[in-house]
Each structure stands twice: as C-alpha cells, then as structure tokens.
C-alpha cells in the first residue's frame, strides 16, 4: 500500500509505502542535507510530529521522544511507518534543513557547533 | 620494551532498543560469537579471534548509546597501582567486584570529564579463539560467519573537556597522543586520537557539547578486501551505512561507518599504521579536516558531527 505524506511547513507531498519509514520517503525528495542519521531510532535527528493520519512505530530512544510526546504524535521518522495518508510537522535538527529555502547549505551555515568545512 | 600497564580496550557495554533484533544483528550480521547471558539480562559477545570471554555486551534500554568501556591492564598489581594513581590525581574511583560481569575480575571505574564511564580490569577468563594453543589452524569457520571482525579495536567518544580526559589518560594511564585536529583559533583540539599500544589509536575523542556520547565502536578486519565484503554484507542485510567504504586520512585506516539496529554507529576498520610512544603527533588543521576524516571525499558528511547516541 502506498500512502501520501504531507509536510505541513512546505506543503510538499511525498509517497511512502507501509514498509518504508517516513524518513526514507522524506529522503527520496532529494533535498540536499536531509539527514539520514542512524535510521535506528537512536540519534534523534529525524524528529517529527504527526498531526493527522495512522501510523505504526518501532522502538525509539526515550532520550529524544518522551512518552508524553509520543502520546501526542511525536515520533522519530526513521522508526515510523504509514498506515494511511499522513500530515506531519518537522521538529528538531531536521527542521532547518527541510524548511530552509536554501536547503542543506543554509541549514549548515546556521548550525552552531559545526565548524566550517569545505 | 614490552607492552605493560594498560594493554587495550577489552570490553564495551552498549544499550539497545530491541534486544532480540540486536542479538540477531551482532551474531549473524556483524558475526560476533555469543558467549553468555547474565541475570541482569545482558548478552555477551566476542569476536572470533579474541581469546577473552567477552568484548561486547548489550542490554535492552529505552535509549541507545554507550554504558561504559573497559581497558585491560597487565596484572592485578597494575590495577591496584593505577587505582591509587587515579585517586592521587584527584579522580574518584569505584570498585565493581569480580563476577558482576561474567568471567571478569574486579573493575576500577571512573568518570572521564567527557562524561564517559571508563573502567580498568586485569582479569577475564581466557576461553580461547576456538583453536588449540598447540599446533592451531589459521582460522575457524566462525571467521567467515557474517562480517566476522578479528577483534573489538577502538572507539570514538564525543563530549566536552576532551583535554581533561586526555590529561588523565596520558598522565595517569600512560596513553600517548598520535594525531589531533587543531581548532581554527588554536585554543585547543577538535579531536584527539590516543594510543596505549602500537595501534594508531585505542580511543579517540571529538569535542561536543553533550557529555557521554558514542560516535562509534570499531571492529578490526584483516584486509581492505574484507572491508569490501563487509559492505556487501551490509547491503545484503539492509544495514544503514553512514559512509564508506573509504579511507581515513587520520590513522590511514580503511573504513565503513554503519549503524546497528538501535542507531549505535559501528565501524569495520582495517589497517592504520603502527605507532610508538616516541613518535611526534600528527596535526591536522580545520582547513583540511575533511581530508583528515574522509580521505577520498575530502569533506565531512552531514552526520559526522551531528549523529551520535
Ligand atoms: S535517524 Fe537517528 S533517530 Fe531517526
Ligand atoms: Fe574508528
């Protein structure tokens, strides 16, 4: 089954199957700098809030998503699989990358503790 | 001179989010050998060519990351001496009694200023590498099961105050600096690679605001070819790869960074030059840091400084 996922901030819509994580689908947008982090629910870079729709989750670190947050639909996108059409908001470290007009480069330049690299 | 004092990183304990999934990964994908389980629910592994009972422990938790790393020392007398030396240096230590970890003697535990729990121990039962000590073969079938590293080799830790951790490791425990990346303003280092042996590094640190973070645990392979074989196995098993196969400028090791099912980064590593304590440390500048970390890409990837557990 193929579902559509809408990014609320930008209005963009992408397709994602039941077996594919929301992060995988997001990365398929090809936006430069979308961080494919650990993809195991451990590092917390892919935090999103599901505002609408059904989904299933795998194990994810409580250091990045508290039980209360989870109740309110906050998940790590790499451990979240759609079970219907979804709408989401991007949180945390990924926000600047997904929502910045310049994509990855703008996000990188504003990253605080990231030293300048060529 | 023989190698004395602190010998090598001997065990590491990591938290995983799903124990069964992780046991499958560490056994069949990474290709470690399970050697035990304890009453705390920890699962013990070793690489095929390691002789001591365990080198990697995992436990189920609601967060990923590193619980502690333990370095083996050459004798009980050395353990007692280093414990006294640490105390004299102003480091608070704690004794974990023998047997708390399976087949492992007393451990002396302390907290590094970077927020990492560091242990020293002298005894771990030698269960052998599956070969007799008289007239052995070159390898055993376990050497081909999964990625099958030879040993747990080193780890890279992220945290603040790396110069304070460096001081303790150098001044008290006898480590020496092999390579470092100097911050642009010359106020200190972004990263340091320390050795307690003739390896290019036994432990490394990157300066990072959050304490106690794990960047990767590294496993040694014999050849570049085996690193490429590891990459194939990662694809066959749909393991998330961070970067590689490639080479580091620092240490010159060939490498792949990838993630275990809980997002703990691991490295399959080969080579690196041999170092000696009298060698002059190699310095990298921020202008060339990309080449230092990833020699072929000549740039850091998005995840190097930001994705840790
Ligand atoms: S990519 Fe690390 S938690 Fe999702
Ligand atoms: Fe490494």
Structural tokens at position A32:
């430069």
> Is residue A80 lining ligand 1, measured as CB closer than 6 Å?
no
Domains parsed from chain A with CATH numbers = 2-101 (3.10.20.30)
Q: What is the pLDDT of residues A17-71, one digit of tens each?
A: 999 999 998 888 877 667 689 999 999 999 999 999 999 999 999 999 999 999 9
Question: What is the rounded average pLDDT for all residues in chain B?
Answer: 97
Q: What is the pLDDT of residues B266-307, one digit of tens each?
A: 999 999 999 999 999 999 999 999 999 999 999 998 889 889
Nearest Cα neighbor of B241 from B219, B263, B226 is: B263
So what's the pLDDT on residue A100? 66
Same topology between domain B6-131 and domain B151-293:
yes
Question: pLDDT category, A104, cuts 50, 70, 90?
Answer: very low
Q: Which of residues 1-30 of A touch B (CB under 8 A)?
A: none
So what's the pLDDT on residue B298? 95
So what's the pLDDT on residue B106? 98
Q: Do A118 and B290 touch (CB under 8 A)?
A: yes
Indicate if the pLDDT at residue B230 is higher than 90.
yes
Q: What is the pLDDT of residues B235-263, one digit of tens each?
A: 999 999 999 999 999 999 999 999 999 99
Bridge partners of B248?
none
- How far is ligand 2, taken at its centre, from the CA of residue B221, in Å? 12
Q: Do A58 and B240 touch (CB under 8 A)?
A: no
A70 touches chain B (CB under 8 A): no
What residues of A are in contact with residue B286 (Cβ under 8 Å)? 115-117
In this structure, are strands B176-182 and B189-195 parallel, antiparallel, or unpaired?
antiparallel
* Alpha-carbon span B82 to B87, nearest angstrom: 8
B171 touches chain A (CB under 8 A): no
What residues of B are in contact with residue A115 (Cβ under 8 Å)? 183-184, 190, 286, 289, 305
The CATH fold assigned to B151-293 is 2,3-Dihydroxybiphenyl 1,2-Dioxygenase; domain 1 (3.10.180)
Q: What is the CATH number of domain B6-131?
A: 3.10.180.10
> Active-site residue B248, yes or no?
yes
Indicate if the pLDDT at residue A109 is higher than 50.
no
Indicate if the pLDDT at residue B171 is higher than 60.
yes
Indicate if the pLDDT at residue A112 is higher than 70.
no
- In chain B, domain spans: 6-131, 151-293
What average pLDDT does range B96-103 have in this prediction? Answer: 98
A117 touches chain B (CB under 8 A): yes
Please report the ipTM that was assigned to this predicted complex. 0.89
């Amino acid at each position: 089954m193929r579902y559509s996922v809408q990014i609320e901030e930008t209005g963009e819509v992408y397709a994602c199957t039941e077996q594919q994580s929301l992060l995988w689908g997001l990365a398929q947008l090809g936006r430069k700098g979308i961080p494919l982090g650990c993809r195991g629910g451990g590092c917390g870079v892919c935090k999103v809030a599901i505002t609408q729709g059904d989904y299933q989750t795998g194990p994810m670190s409580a250091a990045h998503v508290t039980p209360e947050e989870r109740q309110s639909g906050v998940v790590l996108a790499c451990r979240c699989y759609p079970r219907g059409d979804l709408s989401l908001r991007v949180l945390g470290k990924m926000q600047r990358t997904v929502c910045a007009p310049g994509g990855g480069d703008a996000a990188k330049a504003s990253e605080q503790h990231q030293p300048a690299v060529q | 001179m023989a190698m004395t004092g602190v010998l090598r990183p001997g065990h590491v304990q990591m938290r995983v989010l799903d124990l069964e999934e992780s046991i499958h990964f560490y056994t069949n994908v990474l290709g470690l050998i399970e050697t035990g389980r304890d009453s705390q629910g920890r699962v013990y592994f070793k690489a095929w060519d390691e002789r001591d009972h365990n080198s990697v422990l995992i436990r189920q938790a609601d967060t990923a990351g590193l619980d502690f790393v333990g370095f083996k020392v050459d004798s009980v007398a050395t353990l007692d001496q280093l414990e006294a030396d640490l105390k004299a240096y102003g480091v608070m230590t704690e004794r974990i009694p023998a047997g708390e970890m399976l087949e492992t003697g007393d451990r002396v535990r302390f907290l590094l200023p970077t927020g990492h729990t560091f242990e020293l121990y002298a005894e771990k039962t030698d269960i052998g590498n599956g070969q007799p000590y008289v007239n052995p073969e070159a390898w055993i079938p376990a050497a081909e099961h999964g990625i099958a590293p030879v040993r747990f080799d080193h780890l890279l830790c992220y945290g603040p105050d790396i110069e304070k951790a460096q001081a303790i490791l150098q001044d008290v425990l006898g480590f020496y600096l092999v390579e470092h990346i100097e911050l642009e303003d010359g106020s200190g280092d972004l990263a340091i690679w320390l050795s307690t042996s003739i390896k290019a590094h036994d432990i490394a640190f990157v300066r990072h605001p959050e304490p106690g973070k794990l960047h990767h645990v590294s496993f040694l392979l014999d050849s570049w070819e085996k690193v490429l074989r590891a990459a194939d196995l990662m694809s066959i098993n749909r393991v998330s790869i961070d970067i590689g196969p490639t080479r580091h400028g620092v240490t010159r090791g060939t490498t792949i960074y990838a993630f275990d099912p809980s997002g703990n980064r691991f490295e399959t590593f080969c080579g690196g030059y041999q170092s000696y304590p009298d060698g002059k440390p190699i310095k990298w500048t921020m202008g060339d840091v990309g080449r230092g970390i990833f020699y072929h890409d000549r740039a850091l990837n998005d995840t190097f400084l930001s994705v840790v557990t």
